[in-house]
Structure 1
Amino acid sequence: MKLLTPGAEIDGFIVHECIHAGGMAHIYRVSYAQSSRDPGFPLVMKIPRMASGDGAENIVSFEVELQIHPTLSGSHVPRFVAAGDLVRLPYIVMEYIDAPTLEQWMNAHPRGDIEKIARIGTAIALAAHSLHQQNVCHLDLKPANVLLKPDGTAALLDFGLSCHAHYPDLLAEEMRNAVGSPAWIAPEQIVGVRGDVRSDIFAIGVMLYEMVTGELPFGAPTTRGGMRQRLWMMPTPPRRLREDVPTWLQEIILRCLEPEAAQRYPSGAHLAFDLSHPEHVPITDRGERTSAPGACAQLKRWIKAAGMQYRPSPLPTEQLAEVPILMVAVPHRDVSDATMYSLRQAVNRSLGIRPGARLACVTVISPSASSTSQHERSETTLHRKHLARLKQWSSTLNLAQHSASCHVLESGDVAQAIIRYARGNQVTMIIMGAATHGLQMQRFVDTVPIRVARDAPCTVILVKQQLPFQALAGTPRATPAPSTPDTSTP
């Protein structure tokens, strides 16, 4: 197909210059011929390459994108505007996001700053999580398909290889071989399993590895046999290639690159949480190692990979529902032991039915919290004191097979601090007392629990006192049936 001529009009769009000519498509700046139809943001038109030498995957992937892109919403994808007729002239018109790609950033910042890399990784993980919440797996995440927006967030491009749980998987039907970019494709994709959100986690791990070391963890294989090596091969630890890589970052990267999907982060939200809170990343042998395993260990991994059975994945939303991030808001004053006991019971029940859940224990202190001495008044001392109390309380929880961390927030508005934390960390459920932080639940009073239940972006469980204080002290009595907690789902 020849390049379009600037000034040409297609279905009411005026074509301007070509801004990208890739192997799969051409992208042009466009605008509406009628100014009254201007959407208020710049536009681009994507037209697939359909020359005689181009493969059938070009048009198939374009059909996939035409099927999936209109269903997506949110700030992490360009807004869909219009589409052309597949028979006459296939095209997609979408929002133009004026931002550099991750590939451009990496070219300008080889072996970038660790803190900056963590922020970029967090943004990409949250963008992928947004797709997964809409039952879409990208399956072609790579630096060229990631835009780094000025506000610090990321937007994802090119959904031609994606998979939507509620639509036919055209690529699986039409293509017998694995489809994906060789350097970033996940092991399960190589054997034909599509639709697992953890495949995108693997690709993010490859990008993190490349940002940190300047190298690709598995090279850029050109054959199927070369790609299959990642089913068992362990990449060189980043700390061997770059001495200033912290153990927590290597732990995160190598966990993303595990050949078994079950050993990776279960969701983009979990990955973003660790990248945002490195002090809470548990360090295992993955984070400490500075050399690749020996031949014997590699042989064991090869044998295990040879006998591994890959199974189709459940719906992305079902996968995410099994691995939520839970938050418990723990008051630090003016609260009875009975309420603390009830909170503990509610948390244990919630974790018990969600084996893959992560727990964040949070308490909010006032910036004007007073102490008896100048030393105790310091922020560091206050945080340490309340963090120690929070850890002591959380130590009594049943946290087997669960990741957990404790966080002390400082704010004059307790409700807003809880809501901001929940929104920023993709919290699925907040558990808190029905009357917490010294406030009593009263009719017509806008208390902290009421405000959180009303404005939080997730489910809120308000826990009432379940047992009288005498029962906590060991007084013999009949065990009452636990009360049903109030819930609110904004």
Structure 2
Amino acid sequence: MSTTALPSSPASPPAPLEAGQVLDGFRLEERLHQGGMANLWRVSRVDAGTDDGHELLMKVPRIKGGEDPATIVGFEVEQMLMPQLSGPHVPRFIARGDWTRQAFIVMERIPGETLRPRLDDAPLPPEEVADIGARVATALAALHRQHVVHLDIKPSNIMFRPDGTAVLVDFGLSRHAQLPDLLEEEFTLPMGTGPYMSPEQVQFVRSDPRSDLFALGVMLYHLATGERPFGQPDSVRGLRRRLYVEPVPPRAIRPELPPWLQEVILRCLEVRAERRYQSAAQLALDLREPRGVVLTARAEKLHTSGVMRRLKRWFFAMGSEPAPVAQHGQQLARSPIVMAAVELDRGTPELRAQLCETVRRIVQTEAGARLACVAVMKINRIGIDELTDQHGQSLHVKQLIALKHWARPISKALTLDDGRLTFHVLEAPDVAEALVDFARRNGVDHIVMGARGASPVRRYLGSVSGYVVAESDRTVTVVREPRTE
């Protein structure tokens, strides 16, 4: 016969939990994990059949007396924050228990292990590193859109659904822009996991979503090289070294790594947040489309800076204050991805020129925008495609050159440095589907595309622009061909 836990005083720890016990309608079936801060139990509802077949997980804090008070506050933060989250990249919240009786959180149980065991297999192949990074960056983009900075991104806090979707767990150190920050209010030490903490976290800033991108960069570095970029510091002094000591370039450890991957990783690990990727969606785009990564001096580095440069960085780091951080929503709004869908082999020069001018005006109004210029090379669903022209030149390369030529007026008029202007030639049998899929996978915020004049065929079969407008959940601007008298 099952039993129910008795209420306990907040001043004394609750009685140990046992399998078969019932808490607020949840039966404890099996303890899955006993950690230093919390126990994880597989549970089921006493009133079965109300969770659509999902397995449930109960997280219970370990209150033994004398523990770090940050553990208790962190659990309070997680209880407050998890009901605010939704989507496939976080566990579905079910219920929570009151501290005056028994504190707990019940959530959807994600099957499988965390990403932590993959560190034992590092270094991993570059394509696997990029795939993992892209999926985690996509999850971070979804989290940041919900006004949350995770602040404890590491392999043990990342899981994957059976379809490969990344799921972020453990929000005890997180910050919600629209909720009180209990940790900041009650503690004056840096909060996070030593190897993964960003420089601004070391300087007590907890409101910058780019901190999560730094942590992801640490993880990518470890997966790519088998080593941690900043070791495993156990003191504030050790943490502050990342303000002035550069990590060894990944290609100095693994020369076979592609330059574009080192470019991405080192950009994530920039000390100053404004020199990193400005949004998780922009990072995910580069990891999925490495041909669009603009290589800088980062890609070719094989040594850390000399003693004098390190001394200079140390001098400025000692007295430096973190740069002011824009409000969370403002930061994301300043870093949109604008996608220009360019039809190179059809349409008129006038339409392409009008599209170019419209894109230029849109990007000019978005100071931190990333412009992804996209063309689709249509291929057959069945059969063999001709991939070269009559002179043996690659059709893909010709499309890429034409796309860059189209964007030349934009690059001349605007300063889009550090990878903010990229080019992508897609190969697909359906142009409209390829554009919609690219925008969805890469977190595009705004699609700008041209539309040719009406014709009986397009009215009957439907146009590419019409399909994109109907099927995409992004903002779409359709540029019409200029009218002629």
Fold conserved between structures, TM > 0.5 = yes
Match of 1:160 in 2: 172
Q: Tell me which of 331, 349, 354 is aligned to 2:366.
A: 354
Alignment partner of 1:417 out of 421, 434, 449: 434
Matching of residue 324 in structure 1 with residue 336 in structure 2: yes
SS in 2 for 1:82: strand
Superposed, which structure 2 residues align to 1:294-309 within 5 Å? 294-309=306-321
Indicate if the aligned counterparts of 2:388 and 2:395 stay in contact, CA closer than 8 A.
no
Matched, 1:233 2:245: yes
Structure 2 CA distance for aligned equivalents of residues 11 and 426 of structure 1: 40
Secondary structure of 1:327's counterpart equals strand
What is aligned with 2:9?
Answer: none
- Corresponding residue of 1:250: 262
User: Does 1:449 pair with 2:465?
Assistant: yes
Aligned mates of 2:17, 2:229 — CA distance in 1:
39
1:401 pairs with 2:413: no
Structure 1 residue 315: Cα displacement: 3.0
Distance across 2 between alignment mates of 1:81 and 1:143: 24
Q: Deviations over 1:369-425 (max 9, x none)?
A: 999989528998322222221121112223413522222223332221110110011
- Unaligned segments of structure 1, at least 5 residues: 470-490
Q: Secondary structure at 2:409's aligned position in 1? A: coil
C-alpha change, 1:112 and 1:324, in structure 2 (3 Å) is same
* Alpha-carbon distance, 1:255 to partner: 1.1
Q: Which moved more, 1:124-133 or 1:309-318?
A: 309-318
Q: Give, in whole Å, the separation in 2 of the partners of 1:44 and 1:371.
A: 51
Gaps of at least 5 residues in structure 2 are 1-12
| Contact 1:435–1:441, Cα closer than 8 Å, also in 2 | no
Instruction: Determine which of 209, 214, 234 is the counterpart of 1:202.
Output: 214
Q: Does the aligned pair in 1 maintain the 2:364–2:414 contact within 8 Å?
A: no
Q: Distance in 1 between matches of 2:388 and 2:203?
A: 61
SS at match of 2:478: strand
Contact 1:371–1:377 (CA under 8 A) maintained in structure 2: no
Hey, what's the Cα distance between the residues in 2 that align with 1:131 and 1:380?
44
Change in 2 beyond 3 A, CA 1:373/1:259: closer
> Could you say which residue in structure 2 is the equivalent of 1:389?
402
Q: Paired residue for 1:476?
A: none
The match for 1:28 is 41
Q: How does 1:35-434 map to 2 (within 5 A)?
A: 35-107=48-120, 109-368=121-380, 375-376=388-389, 381-397=394-410, 398-402=413-417, 403-434=420-451
CA distance in structure 1 between the partners assigned to 2:392 and 2:474 by the alignment: 30
The Cα of 1:268 is off from its aligned counterpart by 0.8
The equivalent residue for 1:485 is none
CA separation in 1, counterparts of 2:169 and 2:392?
A: 43
SS of the residue 2:42 aligns to: strand
Residues 1:7 and 1:289: Cα distance change in structure 2 (over 3 Å)? same
* Cα offset, 1:445, TM superposition: 7.0
What is the rounded CA distance, in whole Å, between the counterparts of 2:88 and 2:481 in structure 1? Answer: 41
**Deviation at 1:19?**
1.1
How far apart are the structure 2 equivalents of 1:15 and 1:95? Answer: 14
More displaced 10-residue stretch of structure 1: 261-270 or 239-248? 239-248
How far does the alpha carbon of each residue in 1:220-263 deviate from its partner, in whole angstroms, 9 at most, with x for none?
11111111111111011112222222211111111111111111
Higher deviation after alignment, 133-142 or 288-297: 288-297
Q: Aligned AA for 2:416?
A: Q
Q: Aligned match of 1:8 in 3, 16, 21?
A: 21
The 2-side partners of 1:20 and 1:60 are apart by: 21
Instruction: Return the alpha-carbon distance in structure 2 between the equivalents of residues 123 and 90 of structure 1.
Output: 32
User: Are the structure 2 counterparts of residues 414 and 372 from structure 1 closer, same or farther at C-alpha, using a change threshold of 3 Å?
Assistant: closer
What is the one-letter code of the residue matched to 1:418? Answer: L
3-state SS of 1:427 partner: coil
In 1, the alpha carbon distance for the partners of 2:449 and 2:200 equals 40
CA contact (8 A) 1:138 1:163 kept: yes
Q: Which amino acid aligns with 2:269?
A: L
Change (3 A) 1:80 1:380: farther
Q: Which amino acid aligns with 2:435?
A: I
- Report the secondary structure of 2:294's partner residue: coil
Equivalent position amino acid for 1:456 in 2: S
SS of corresponding position for 2:112:
coil
Corresponding residue pairs, total: 467
TM-score by length of 1: 0.90
Counterpart CA distance in 2 for 1:291 and 1:407 is: 31
Contact 1:189 1:199 (C-alpha < 8 Å) held by counterparts? yes
2:387–2:394 contact (8 Å) kept in structure 1: no
Structure 1: how far apart are the matches of 2:394 and 2:267?
A: 34
TM-score normalised over the length of structure 2: 0.91
Alpha-carbon deviations, 1:247-283, whole Å to 9, x = none? 1111111111111111111111111111112222222
Q: Shift of residue 432 of structure 1? A: 0.7
Letter in 2 for 1:175: F
Whole-Å separation in 2 of the counterparts to 1:312 and 1:167? 20
Counterparts of 2:319 and 2:455 in 1: how far apart (Å)? 58
Q: State the AA in 2 paired with 1:244.
A: E
- Going from structure 1 to structure 2, the CA distance change for 1:375 and 1:206 (only over 3 Å counts) comes to closer
Greater mean deviation of Cα atoms: 233-242 or 313-322: 313-322
Q: 1:374 to 1:89 in 2, by over 3 A?
A: closer
- Contact 1:26 1:46 survives alignment (8 Å): yes
Helix, strand or coil at the partner of 2:438: helix
Distance 1:261 1:4 in 2: 44
Q: Which residue of 1 aligns with 2:7?
A: none
What amino acid maps onto 1:229 in structure 2? R
Pick from 450, 458, 478 the counterpart of residue 462 of structure 1.
Answer: 478
1:333–1:34 Cα change, 3 Å: same
Counterpart residue identity of residue 44, structure 1: L
Return the alpha-carbon distance in structure 2 between the equivalents of residues 279 and 375 of structure 1. Answer: 19
Answer yes or no: is the 8 Å Cα contact 1:193–1:311 preserved in 2. Answer: no
Q: For residues 114 and 44 of structure 2, what CA distance do their matches in structure 1 show?
A: 23
Work out whether residues 338 and 467 of structure 1, in 8 Å CA contact, stay in contact via their aligned partners in 2: no
User: 1: CA distance between counterparts of 2:262 and 2:30?
Assistant: 43
Q: Secondary structure at the match of 2:395?
A: helix
Shift of residue 153, structure 1, vs aligned partner: 2.3
SS at match of 2:376: strand
